[in-house]
Structure formats: C-alpha cells, structure tokens
Chain A
Amino acid sequence: MRINYIYTFFAGFLLFISCAKPVSQNTSYQRTGMVNYLTYTKSELTVTSEHAAENVGKAISYAEINALENILFRGIPGSPSEAPLISDEIEAVKNHKQILNTFIFETGCKEYVTKSETISRERQGTLTFVKQKVTFDLNGIRKFLEKNNIVKRFGL
C-alpha cells in the first residue's frame, strides 16, 4: 500500500517536471540564406542579415556570423561579391578547419565588421528575431584568406 503511494507520487512528480516550462532554451547557430545586399563603397560591403536566438545579444552575433558565412561560402546575389570568396567550402574546411572556425566564430566579426546596427528586433515566444545591417571590410577579409593560403591571390 505504502509502496503504491510512493510510486504514484514519483509518477506525478515526473509528470510535473515534464510539463514544466524550460527555464532557458539554448538555440544553436545555423546558417541561413537570409542575407541581402545593401551597398558597396570602396571595398566596404553592407548587407542585411536576419537571425534569431534566445536573447538580443546572441541573435545579433548570429546575424553577423551568418552574413560573414554567406560572404565566404555563398556570395551575395546582386552585389560586387556575387561569387563566394571561398569557392570550395568543403575543401577549405577540410584543410583549414581550425583557422576558419576561429575566423568565423571569434575573430572575423570582431576584426572585419566595420559597422553593425540593428534595424529591427522582435520577441516571438522564447526567441528574439533581429534584422542587422552589417558592413564588412571585404579587402581585409580577402587579404586574411590569402595570407593564410585559404584562397589564392589573383592569378594563374
């Protein structure tokens, strides 16, 4: 009898835990194609990038990384950077995984983003969506990639 009470209490407790709202939901970064060309002046490329995360800071960071990844691996349609800076993503990541990871997720946005401002932000449920206007020093990025032999210099 007593054991039955314990089992019932334990089952109820489990049910309560499973129904409880999570305190924090960690969203992981995923590349999207939501990067659009805005302007280009003297090798400075400005794009808008959209992303979401559980807080504003993280969403902005994700939006900047997303823009950088699109410039590196996909190219921005209708811009002077239509072709990606790195033509073969798989090969580049295979040969320079550590450098590229550090560049994309740590140093790249710090060193080569010359301007970043939030155009809009919206809270939907547990996530904050941001639209970020980001300006990159395209020549600087290209030189970094050339210096680390990730891309070749212009030539045969």
Chain B
Amino acid sequence: MELENSLKKIILLNDSDSKKMTKYNMQIKQFAKGFFLITILLSSFSGSAQEKKPAATQNAQPTIMVIPFTPAGQDLRANFESNELLRVAITKVKEAFDQRGVNTIDFRAKLKQLSNAEALQSDQKTSIKDDVIAISGADVYIEVEANPNYSSTGNSVTIIMSAYDAFSGESYANKVSNSAKFYTTNYEKLVEKSVATEVPNLLSTIQEKFDDIQVNGRTITIRVGIDEKSKLKMDSEVDKEGNYLGDIIEDYVRDNSFKNKYHLQGVSDTKITFDLVKVPLKDASDNPFRLSRFASDFRRFLRTKEIQCSQVLVGNSLVFTLN
C-alpha cells in the first residue's frame, strides 16, 4: 500500500512537473517569438537608419604620357635632347601626375625603346610622335611646352600643357601657367612652381571630359564616299521603298549613334561626311566599344541593300568607299 501511495505521489508529482514544464515551454516559445520579432524590427530600423553606401565605382585608370611639344618640321628626339628646360618641365609634369596617383608612361624610356627597335630612321621626323604614342599604349598624352622669359624685373617661365586623347587626337584640356618673376636663373625651381599650381587644374579638366564621355559617349567621324567607277550617287534609290542612298546612311548613323547624337557636316553627290558621331564607351556586354565592330555592322547593313564597300579605320575616323 505504501508503495502504491508513493507511486501515486510520484505520478502526481510528475504530472504537475510536466504541466509546469509545458507552461515554461510556452513561456519560452512566446519569449523567443517576441525576441525574434524585436530583432527583425530593430534590424530593419538600423538598416534604414544607416546610410546606403553606393557600390564602389570601378573606373578604368588611364595611362598618361607626357611628351615635348615639337613645332612642325623639327625632330622630336632632337628637340627633347637639346632643350634642358623642356626636359625639366616634362619630368616635373610627370612627377606631379605620379604624386596624384595617376599611371604615367616615361617618354624617355619609350623613345629609347623605339631607338633600340630601330623602327625609325632619324629622317622620319613627322612620324616619331605618332609612333611613340602608338608603342607606349598611353590613353592620354600631354604635350608640354616650356619657354623662359627674361626681363630686368626678374625671370620667369611659361608652361603650356595640352592634353589629348591618344586614340582620337581629341583635345581634353589646355592650361597655361606662368611662374612668378624672380631674380634667379634656377629655372628648374621656376618650372616646378609653375607646374605644381596648374597640374591639379589640368587633371580636373581632363576628369570633367572623362565624365562627359561617360554620359555622352566618345566622338568618332565617318566619311562615306563613292568610288569613281561606281554608278551610284547619294541620291540614287537603293531599295524598293525608293529611299535615297544618302538618307539610308544618315538613318543608320542616327539609329546607331549613342543617344542618337550625331552631326552631318555635309552631303554631295559622291560624299557624305559626319564630323561628329557619338559612340558608347562600352558595348552591351560591358566590354570596351570596338570601332571595327561598328564599321563591320555598317558594311553588313550596306550589303543588305546590295551595296559593296571597302573600309579604312584610322584612330577615331571611319572611311568607307562604296563600289
């Protein structure tokens, strides 16, 4: 009996314990639910309170080469080697760019590379600049001109810096900087002062151009001419709808230019010239836009109208000759 009673007590105790346990479980579950909800609410609040940080902008770092300005008819290498002030100016401009963290290419090294390759003869004066730029792989080149000014009130230097797109030759920025007058012949110091104050502004202007290119695209030029032997004319009807050749070319350029931005310079019987056609910086696949692709597409378009043509691509200029 005693055993039975004790067993009953144990059972009763267990029952009450299990009831208590379920109560505790319920409370814990409710607490967990509440905690979960509060956590979600807090995290959402903190998320909205925090500033939304835009993703890092990955922009391509262009390479810049500083080259000496050489007047027409003069030898680039001879000019560079004979003019000490110019060499100092080039070095100082390059230094200023390096300090700003811009990738630069050493002009002197490229000039040596060109000499070693024996790619050029010294009598090829006019092409040295183009060749140096071509082998350097620079995106932007900056022509520097340095002139000393002598006067009874002190000496100074004038530095002219002009930045160009190596691909198209398009001008990006121009800056003229005059140093203050000092009674000194230490032109290196004058050049340094002169360059240091104007390079940041030159870079800002180039960056503004870059920003503009991103928004409005690069500029190319297109010239379409008709071969002498061809019977075609710009006002020849080239399809069943009776469209003129000149019109379908203009329509194509309008439809395929970036944001439909283009400028028709002129049309004659045998020629149509677009002095400004905007193309994007990158294609639909986010790869750099290839001008050769644009040219091929245009050629294929003409083939659909049963017109054959040849193409020449120089820098940012496209030249088509219709046969």
A interface residues, Cβ below 8 angstroms from B: 40-43, 79-83, 87, 95-99, 138-139, 149, 152-156
Set of chain A residues within 8 Å of B243, measured between Cβ atoms: none
Q: What would 20 more interface pairs be, CB under 8 Å, given A149-B57, A155-B207?
A: A43-B99, A82-B201, A83-B201, A83-B208, A87-B208, A95-B52, A95-B54, A98-B51, A139-B100, A149-B54, A152-B59, A153-B61, A154-B61, A154-B62, A154-B100, A154-B102, A155-B61, A156-B59, A156-B60, A156-B214
Chain B contact residue count (CB 8 A cutoff) = 33
Q: Which of B50-85 contact A (CB under 8 A)?
A: 51-57, 59-62
Secondary structure dominating the interface of A: loop
Q: If A83-B205, A83-B208 touch, does A156 touch B62 (CB 8 Å cutoff)?
A: yes
Q: Which of B33-62 contact A (CB under 8 A)?
A: 51-57, 59-62
Q: How far is the CB of B195 from chain A (nearest CB, A)?
A: 10
In the complex, whether B160 has a CB less than 8 A from a CB of chain A is no
In the complex, whether B200 has a CB less than 8 A from a CB of chain A is yes
Most chain B CB within a 10 A radius of its CB, from A97, A149, A156:
A156
CA separation between A148 and B99, bound complex, in Å?
20
Set of chain B residues within 8 Å of A149, measured between Cβ atoms: 53-57
What 5 A-B pairs come out closest when comparing CB atoms? A83-B204, A80-B200, A155-B59, A155-B61, A80-B197
Set of chain B residues within 8 Å of A97, measured between Cβ atoms: 51
B interface residues, Cβ below 8 angstroms from A: 51-57, 59-62, 99-102, 139, 196-201, 203-208, 210-211, 213-214, 281
CA separation between A139 and B96, bound complex, in Å?
12
CA separation between A16 and B139, bound complex, in Å?
75
Residue pair B213, A156 in contact (C-beta under 8 Å): yes
Residue pair A154, B207 in contact (C-beta under 8 Å): yes
Beta-carbon nearest neighbor of A150 in chain B:
B54
Q: B281: which of A79, A96, A139, A156 is its contact (CB, 8 Å)?
A: A156
CA separation between A41 and B200, bound complex, in Å?
12
Set of chain B residues within 8 Å of A81, measured between Cβ atoms: 200-201
Q: How far is the CB of A146 from chain B (nearest CB, A)?
A: 9
Residue pair B101, A154 in contact (C-beta under 8 Å): yes
Set of chain A residues within 8 Å of B61, measured between Cβ atoms: 153-155
Q: How far is the CB of A150 from chain B (nearest CB, A)?
A: 9
Set of chain B residues within 8 Å of A87, measured between Cβ atoms: 208, 211
Q: How far is the CB of A65 from chain B (nearest CB, A)?
A: 21
Set of chain A residues within 8 Å of B59, measured between Cβ atoms: 152-153, 155-156
Set of chain A residues within 8 Å of B62, measured between Cβ atoms: 154-156
Most chain B CB within a 10 A radius of its CB, from A43, A95, A155:
A155
CA separation between A97 and B53, bound complex, in Å?
11
Set of chain A residues within 8 Å of B200, measured between Cβ atoms: 80-81, 138
Set of chain B residues within 8 Å of A139, measured between Cβ atoms: 99-100
Q: B196: which of A42, A99, A152, A153 is its contact (CB, 8 Å)?
A: A42
